[in-house]
Amino acid sequence: MELFIFLGTLFFFLAFGIPICLVLVLCAMVLMWHSGMWDAMIIPGSMLDGANNYPLMAIPFFVFAGEIMAAGGLSKRVVQLAQLMIGRVRGGLGYAAVVASIIFAGLMGSSVGEAAALGGLLLPMRKEGGYKPGRPGAVIASGAILGPIIPPSTNFILLGATISGLSITKLFMIGLVPGILIGLALMVVWFFVVRKDGYNETITFTREEKWKILIDSTPAFLMPVLLLGGIRFGVFTPTEGGAFAAIYAIVVCVLYYRELSFRELLRVSARAATTTSVVMLIVATATAVGWFITIAQIPNQMTALFSPLIDSPVLLLLCINVFLFLIGMVMDLTPNILIFAPVFYPLITQAGIDPYYFGLLFILNLGIGVITPPVGTVLYVVCGIGNIKITQLIRNLVPFILVEVVMLFLLLFFPKLSLIPLDWLMGGK
């Protein structure tokens, strides 16, 4: 009963367009009233406990680093590096967008930030190549889901902070190879799009330009290598890695590129603080809802609901992923992680499913949700930057979403595609 009350309340208030933070508070109040535990201090106390979580300290650092990169010229050089690597191939803009998405994912860890940075740099170039309005936008939007998967992912940090006992380092590592495979799959789709539309555009550089791009982009390319290497080999924790990313971005953008002054750095800091405050408010309100979800024994109800499927892990995962896909279409990634991860975790534990493998499927599935209507945040970012009609973007996005769903199910039916690389990257740990 409590499960349906919660879901009904959630979708009822979302239908009115109420901000998600307020919706979560209202859901907590409804569950509190239903449980008969009316106490004005429970919700504020739960919100404070939710925000007061050490692993979450990594989020403001990575957000700050991402803002510095976008404003300090590092993003531009990543795009130039991607164009140099594969831009000379027919339809080079699309291939460069996917390669840049993979590199950006290792820098920012945010789908929205990645879409905004790439869209601002690449979409103005679509007219020069004669591209249809929605084609490059679709590539950029579909590539943005690599941000939540490829480390350092702020969404994996949230998942690790929500479910105690999960190693954020292992969550990072399990997303690396599948993220690259999805990027390659997007390139395959673009290969057929290029031939269907008859694009002949290529991106070429002179020898002098090539050397300049290589030298300028080396600090940008080194950042994810140093960051992941440091986390993997225990040089620093993921939280300390966030601080390293922020300091590295400041040194490169302010002192090396010299495209960001200290005055501009203050403005960037203010934007990062605003973004972080929004994320942490969602975390806090979702924690309050999670407290009442636990008290109402909704995880036990979900276990009872899916109990006939516990002996068949593949079928169980299939049903959970269908549910998550539908939820992801109407609610953003962050609250979904915070609300449904604690609900499904006991279930997959009982079924004997590897929690890191489930975490990958969980984040990938909900990541696809950010590019599916009606609540696809990345869609509106790309449309706003590129002045593209939402219907045009969605129509061109269909083949890319389909291939990402296919990759999701390949990972679901063949767990070794993610677990073997994880064992290799972790050295058998």
Q: What angle do CA 373, 402, 399 make, to 5 degrees?
A: 90
- Residue 392: CB atoms within 10 A of its CB come to 17
Q: What band does 35 get if pLDDT is binned at 50, 70 and 90?
A: confident
CB-CB contact of 319 with 303 (8 Å) = no
Please, what is the angle between helix 154-162 and helix 262-295, to 10°? 30
Q: What percent of the chain has pLDDT over 90?
A: 17
Token pair 């975790």: residue: 345
Sorted by where each begins, the domain ranges of the chain are: 2-425
Biggest alpha carbon distance in the chain?
A: 73
> Is the confidence at residue 428, as pLDDT, over 60?
no
Residue 306 CA to residue 320 CA, distance in Å, equals 9
CB-CB contact of 54 with 98 (8 Å) = no
Q: Which two tokens stand for residue 384?
A: 């706003």
Residue 429 CA to residue 422 CA, distance in Å, equals 9
Q: What percent of the chain has pLDDT over 70?
A: 97
Token pair 């599935």: residue: 365
Condensed to tens digits (0 to 9), the pLDDT of residues 264-319 reads: 888 888 988 888 888 888 888 888 888 888 777 777 777 778 888 888 999 999 99
Alpha helices in 233-261 (DSSP H): 238-250
CB-CB contact of 146 with 182 (8 Å) = yes
- Work out the mean pLDDT of the chain and round it to a whole number: 84
Beta strands in 237-371 (DSSP E): none
Residue 89 CA to residue 96 CA, distance in Å, equals 9
- Residue 426: CB atoms within 10 A of its CB come to 15
User: Which three-class secondary structure state does DSSP give residue 347?
Assistant: helix
Residue 94 CA to residue 137 CA, distance in Å, equals 9
pLDDT of residue 127: 63
CB-CB contact of 213 with 80 (8 Å) = yes
Residue 301 CA to residue 93 CA, distance in Å, equals 49
Query: Of 266, 326, 259, whose CA–CA distance to 74 is shortest?
Result: 259
Q: Which two tokens stand for residue 163?
A: 């479910």
pLDDT of residue 1: 65
- Would you give the DSSP letter of residue 38? -
Q: Which two tokens stand for residue 137?
A: 């936008």
pLDDT of residue 379: 85
Token pair 């690396």: residue: 176
Residue 210 CA to residue 233 CA, distance in Å, equals 33
Q: Which two tokens stand for residue 110?
A: 């945010």
Condensed to tens digits (0 to 9), the pLDDT of residues 37-79 reads: 777 788 888 888 878 877 788 888 888 888 888 788 777 888 8
pLDDT of residue 129: 62
Condensed to tens digits (0 to 9), the pLDDT of residues 126-138 reads: 666 677 778 888 8
Amino acid at 35: S
Per the document, the length of the chain is 429
User: Which three-class secondary structure state does DSSP give residue 371?
Assistant: coil
